[in-house]
Amino acid sequence: MPISNKELLSRGVEEVINKNDLQKQLKSKKIRVKLGIDPTAPDLHLGHAVALRKLKQFQDAGHKVILIIGDFTAMIGDPTDRVGARESLTTAQVKKNMREYLDQAGKILNLKKVEIKYNSQWFKKLDFNKLLDLMASFTVQQLTEREDFSKRIKEGKPVGYHELIYPIMQAYDSVMIKADLEIGGRDQRLNILAGRDLMSKSGMKPQNVLTLPLLEGTDGKRKMSKSFGNYIGLNDKPNDMFGKIMSIPDSLISKYFDLLTDLKKPRSKNQRNNKLLLAKTIVTDLHNKKLAQKAEDHFIRVFSNKERPIDITKLKIKNKKIILVDLLVKAGIKSKNEARRLVTQGGVRIDDKVQKEYDVKVQIRKGMILRIGKRKFFEL
């Protein structure tokens, strides 16, 4: 059942500009709602799901949702929240990422009812005169007031001209599709407001703006990001997804319910039960009910009852003795430095005994259990 207009503009919403105008529009017509994504990487995570879920709410209410695939701007890369310039992507990389993005977005949106636009359709045709005309609509002061740019300038780090025009290009997307509303995270606020400015200067009714909170990752400190290693991917396997959600700090439970589910905020005083409900709901939405139940059973069996997992990975080691860091690399840890860090942080157990020294020789015995972190188990 679609949610009310009041809830559309309040649940999980940080700011609405212009709220009065948007409320009138929602009562009088079906509006055009824009969300832009740049396929700069192949994976989406729950942080991306926040905006996709809000877009789905508008879709369920009968509004026209437009997904802008920034296949052209992805080759520049959104500089928002970057401490340095992004590396340019090739056309082939962008196309590959684009396909995977849509597959994952389809876990949340009904893509058959989404108007999908690629901004290369208009940017490839843009001549230099038109580009100058667009740039004349903005000042350098406007474009550099962004915190990420001003910080890099103060630190003497380079800011490329191609990065400066990124907000202008995002704004032009809104002009081309005649958006009534643009959705984005709060870090996109200035870019979306640029769309309002450009539409007004182009003689159009300016789009309204709806910004969303940024979702903190599993560490509970920084926004969810693959580069921070605190993300929960939309393509994560059910058991992994469930376990990662169970690992978030209790302080984030209410926010995750608000932004990632349709349920009311939990009332139970038992935070573990609240977290189990949260994890099961999200895994159900992104996979299915049966897999979510299996993931919950797996979690309770392994992490609550401390039983050995059913799906334990077999790891064959030829030598009878092996240095612990080498064993961890064979188990899939990317580097010896990463292996040392895991041991130092107490994240490695052998037969449920915490390993404190990474350079120790391990005597391999058949049936020995190696545990890395909370969710990886290997039988040697």
SS3 16: strand
Residue 77 has pLDDT above 70, yes or no: no
Mean pLDDT of 100-104: 92
Mean pLDDT of 87-98: 78
β-sheet with 376-379: strand ranges across: 313-314, 376-379, 369-372, 348-350, 353-354
Q: Which residue has the tokens 């597959």?
A: 103
pLDDT, tens only, 28-65: 999 999 999 888 777 899 999 999 999 999 999 999 99
Mean pLDDT of 343-369: 86
Q: Give percent above pLDDT 90 in the chain.
A: 54
- Residue 311 pLDDT: 60
Q: Which residue has the tokens 């380079």?
A: 158
Considering only residues 252 and 74, tell me which one the structure prediction assigns the higher pLDDT.
Answer: 252
Rounded to a whole number of angstroms, the distance between the first and last alpha carbons of the chain is 51
- Residue 95 pLDDT: 84
- Residue 56 pLDDT: 96
Cβ-based burial of 317 (10 A; exposed 0-12, middle 13-18, buried ≥19):
middle
Residue 81 has pLDDT above 50, yes or no: no
- Residue 143 pLDDT: 80
Nearest-angstrom CA–CA distance, 353 and 329:
19
CATH 3.40.50.150 applies to domain 5-212: no
Beta bridge partner(s), residue 210: 16, 183
What is the secondary structure of 224-267 as a DSSP string?
--GGGT---BTTS-HHHHHHHHHTS-GGGHHHHHHHH-SSPPP-
Residue 294 has pLDDT above 70, yes or no: yes
* Region 321-379: CATH code: 3.10.290.10
272 touches 218 (CB < 8 A)? no
Considering only residues 232 and 368, tell me which one the structure prediction assigns the higher pLDDT.
Answer: 232
pLDDT, tens only, 202-242: 999 999 999 999 999 998 999 998 878 889 999 999 988 99
Which range is least confidently modeled, 12-21, 145-154, 334-343, 360-369?
Answer: 145-154
Nearest-angstrom CA–CA distance, 224 and 215:
6
Q: Which residue has the tokens 């580069």?
A: 227
State the average pLDDT for the chain.
88
In the chain, residues under CATH classification 3.10.290.10 are: 321-379
Q: In terms of Cα–Cα distance, which of 110, 161, 158, 104 is closest to 138? A: 161
Residue 310 has pLDDT above 90, yes or no: no
What is the secondary structure of 133-154 as a DSSP string?
HHHTTS-HHHHH-SHHHHHHHH
Which range is least confidently modeled, 144-148, 220-224, 252-256?
Answer: 144-148
Q: Using the 8-state DSSP alphabet, how is residue 9 labeled?
A: T
In the chain, residues under CATH classification 3.40.50.620 are: 5-212
Residue 83 has pLDDT above 60, yes or no: no
Q: In terms of Cα–Cα distance, which of 38, 104, 44, 103 is closest to 75? A: 38
> Beta 15-17 vs 32-37: how paired, if at all?
unpaired
Element containing residue 93 per DSSP (H, E): helix 91-105
Q: Which residue has the tokens 């870090």?
A: 187
Q: In terms of Cα–Cα distance, which of 49, 26, 38 is closest to 86? A: 38
Mean pLDDT of 156-185: 90
SS3 376: strand
Instruction: For residue 66, report the phi and psi dihedrals to the nearest 5 degrees.
Output: -120, 125
Which range is least confidently modeled, 173-182, 210-219, 317-326?
Answer: 317-326
Considering only residues 147 and 63, tell me which one the structure prediction assigns the higher pLDDT.
Answer: 63
Considering only residues 303 and 219, tell me which one the structure prediction assigns the higher pLDDT.
Answer: 219
Nearest-angstrom CA–CA distance, 172 and 162:
15
SS3 354: strand
